Amino acid sequence: MERPAPPEGGKAPLRQQLLQRRRALDAASKAAWDSAIGARILDWWQRAQPATLGVYWPLRDEPDLHATYAQLAARGARLLLPVVLKKDAALAFAEWQIGEPLVKDAMGVAVPQNLRLQADYPAALLVPCLGYNGAGYRMGYGGGYYDRTLARTPRPQTLGIAYQCLQSDFAQDSHDVALDQIITE
């Protein structure tokens, strides 16, 4: 599959192109790729053993790692979900147990019903990527939540999560922060 290049007009048209490409993936391929990504995350976690791991609840056809989260929890991982407290601010993180009730926040993102916000950032963070480039920069939906989060210190170890077919050529902006690693299928 050919890599999408930024169309005229900057990142907004590329975002739409990548969303369409991801939406068009067939369910069987997505399920197999999600499983492969999950296996890579489990291997990484076994080596790294971070004290806390920020995960994400999938939106807009992002890789679904629920099965991986359950395996991580069974291995003793302490999982945190991102929480938007304010627009134009960095993310906060709440402790999350597998199976606990979730509610949608004002942004439509699933968060624990019993919101146990953490004072510290997670030691490591899985960052969903709409697209990514060869230099390790991610493209998200344009809200800047992860950019603001990664600009803070101490910065967690970052693992971008994406499908390989969404690698693209695009220039990073001055506020973008490269991820430590990109995990694909």
Judged against a pLDDT cut of 90, whether residue 7 lies above it is answered with: no
Half-sphere exposure of 184 (CA within 13 A, CB side): 16
pLDDT tens for 41-75 read 999 999 999 999 999 999 989 999 999 999 999 99
pLDDT of amino acid 57:
94
d(CA 79, CA 175): 27
Overall average pLDDT of the 82-105 stretch: 93
pLDDT of amino acid 9:
64
Q: Which CATH number fits domain 11-183: 3.40.718.10, 3.30.1360.200, 3.40.50.10420, 3.40.50.2300?
A: 3.40.50.10420
Question: Helices (DSSP H) in 115-173: which residue ranges?
Answer: 145-150
Overall average pLDDT of the 2-21 stretch: 78
d(CA 65, CA 166): 18
pLDDT tens for 115-157 read 999 999 999 999 999 999 999 999 998 888 999 999 988 899 9
Overall average pLDDT of the 76-99 stretch: 94
Judged against a pLDDT cut of 70, whether residue 1 lies above it is answered with: no
Domain ranges of the chain: 11-183
Between CA 84 and CA 104, with CA 18 as vertex, the angle to 5 degrees is: 25
Judged against a pLDDT cut of 90, whether residue 107 lies above it is answered with: no
Task: Give the residues across from 82 on adjacent strands.
Answer: 93
- The pLDDT confidence band at residue 174, using thresholds 50, 70 and 90, is confident
Question: Helices (DSSP H) in 83-182: which residue ranges?
Answer: 145-150
Between CA 118 and CA 38, with CA 152 as vertex, the angle to 5 degrees is: 65
Return the residue matching tokens 């192109």. 17
pLDDT of amino acid 106:
76
Exposed, middle or buried: residue 94 (CB in 10 Å: 0-12, 13-18, 19+)? middle
pLDDT higher at 154 or 97? 97
Judged against a pLDDT cut of 80, whether residue 100 lies above it is answered with: yes
Overall average pLDDT of the 89-116 stretch: 92
Task: Say if residues 177 and 156 touch (Cβ distance below 8 Å).
Answer: no
Name the average pLDDT for the chain.
92
Judged against a pLDDT cut of 80, whether residue 4 lies above it is answered with: no
